[in-house]
Amino acid sequence: MNSRARTPFIISVSVILGVIIGYFLIPSGGSGNSVLKGGKMEYVLSLIDAQYVDKVDIDSLEDVAIRSFLADLDPHSVYMTAEEIKKENEALQGNFDGIGIQFRIIEDTIVVVQTINPGPSQKAGIMAGDRIIKVNEKNVTGKEITNEKVFKLLRGKSGTKVSVSVKRSGIDKPINYSLTRAAIPIHSVDYAGLISENTAYIKLSQFSANSYDEVHSALVKLKKQGAKQLLFDLRGNGGGYLDQAVKIADEFLAKDELIVFTNGRYRGRNDYFATSEGVFEEGKIIVLIDEIAASASEIVAGALQDNDRGMIIGRRTFGKGLVQEQKTLPDGSALRLTVSRYYTPSGRCIQRPYISGDPEKYYTDFIERYANMEKHTDTISHADSLKYKTKKGRIVYGGGGIEPDVELPYYVYKKSDYYSTLLKKGLIYKFCFDHIDRNRKAFKQYKDGSDFLNRFSVSENLLQEMLSFATEQKVEKENLSDAESSEIKQLMKSYIAQNLYGDEYFYPLFLLVDEDVQKALPYFKKQ
């Protein structure tokens, strides 16, 4: 239900890191025994409950205590409340219950970006651009409205009802809808399509419960359309389920090739091998990675790299080589406890270093890495002990993420300072969204997305309007090169297409100005 509007040049480090922390690899399990059973912890809490001078919430104290001692283990062993677990599971299980909209909060108002198909809102007739002003007869506009509050209002158990009032451009009176919440699908494949006669592109955003099925279906369809080589985009993919990573890697590897193995103090070693079921074992493949790609993404990239299957291109991955298992507690909360490490086929554990008891430094180092990328100095030293060999004898390294076969600089910093500022502040996207919102009637001349792609172009006047908007947002105007102006126009068209017609029409345009993609494509000829 949250807006899928992409501002691909903006890094929201805090959000990204939160996602990475939350992802786990082994599905839920555990004994259900209380972590506080017996010992000093229970005694101290009972003493506080019985004799402390003021009334205290023992449950809250338990939560604090658990989080405190988990922090002394590793950065990925975490405690989560029942509500936090519910939210995370919604994303990984592939659906949530709600009304089926993508939205943004603009000027203290909930604005519908798209309705989700299938979903209650689409069936009822709610449209992109509608402003939600009431939910269950209560006003939902103003500075207090947040994404979190919108989720609480609109999400709910499937089959329950919610009333929504919307203000629609050109209609004086609000329109009232009575909606019945339903299961809303969450797709992990953002886009799959041909970007040339024989080159396919798949963008995978996470490894959820349905990811393998989505990737498999996409591969089958693309092969029928003539795809002989694949650009598999794992940039920004923070991970997910281990079994999904194994199944997806199996699509590209021959029978009995090792995909990954895990090893833990109590778990021992567990090997995962490819089967004969892969549908893309022969075609050329390039995997795009970046500094956010973690966990399950690193399993796939590491498996293909160590088996000398295709090429890995981009920037060094996050470096999460610890495997968590979820242990459910009696009150519905859970521990995600690190139980083993995973290793690529060559034997690499690519978990980057951390200091037990100092998770803050772990993520501070990550943030500093962005600063280094701005200076084009994202480097890592290699000890001989971290040297490994692929199946064909190529040297690869452990100890800090998957290093690509071909490294690409963080391209936003290669632009002029002015262009980079427009990108990093998300001003190009915001202008395009606002422009659509003001001119929806004008865009009705295009009968569908294909008609839009064929006939619409960003004029010089519209470009100047966007630059004037940026000036209003306190970005001092500077001259753009002809190449930058042309690129911004293409980017604007892609954002407009996305908001009007969805990702199916966004990606074919956006990929033309995605520098990572354009730099990677020539390497198909070197395989």
Tokens of 269: 């070693």
pLDDT in tens, 380-431: 566 777 899 999 999 998 888 899 999 987 765 567 889 988 987 889 988 9
pLDDT in tens, 487-510: 999 999 999 998 888 888 999 999
Distance CA 99, CA 121 (A): 6
Distance CA 271, CA 257 (A): 10
Give the torsion sign (CA, 490, 495, 496, 497). Answer: positive
Q: What is the pLDDT of residue 10?
A: 35
Residues of the chain scoring pLDDT < 50: 1-24, 27-37, 377
The active-site residue, picked from 205, 208, 211, 295, is 295
Tokens of 517: 């993609």
Ramachandran class of 178: left when φ > 0, alpha when ψ lies in -120 to 50, beta otherwise: beta
Q: What is the pLDDT of residue 503?
A: 85
| Residue 295 annotated as catalytic | yes
Q: What is the pLDDT of residue 253?
A: 98
Q: What is the pLDDT of residue 16?
A: 38
Q: Where are the domains of the chain?
A: 95-185, 189-413, 415-520
- Residue 418: in which H helix or E strand, if any? helix 417-424
Distance CA 133, CA 166 (A): 6
- What CATH architecture applies to the domain 189-413? Alpha-Beta Complex (3.90)
DSSP letter string, 79-96: EE-HHHHHHHHHHHHTEE
**One-letter amino acid for residue 122 of the chain:** Q
Closest among 264, 266, 267, 201 to 507, alpha carbons compared: 201
Query: Burial, 266: exposed, middle or buried (Cβ in 10 Å; 0-12, 13-18, 19+)?
Result: exposed
Residue 393 makes CB contacts below 8 A (sequence gap 6+) with: none
Q: What is the pLDDT of residue 172?
A: 80
Residue 467 makes CB contacts below 8 A (sequence gap 6+) with: 477
Q: What is the pLDDT of residue 68?
A: 83
The active-site residue, picked from 320, 327, 415, 493, is 320
How is domain 95-185 classified at the CATH fold level? Pdz3 Domain (2.30.42)
Q: What is the pLDDT of residue 378?
A: 52
| Residue 385 annotated as catalytic | no
| Residue 306 annotated as catalytic | yes
The active-site residue, picked from 306, 405, 503, 516, is 306
pTM of the model: 0.82
Longest dimension (CA), the chain: 76
CA 282 and chain centroid, separation? 28
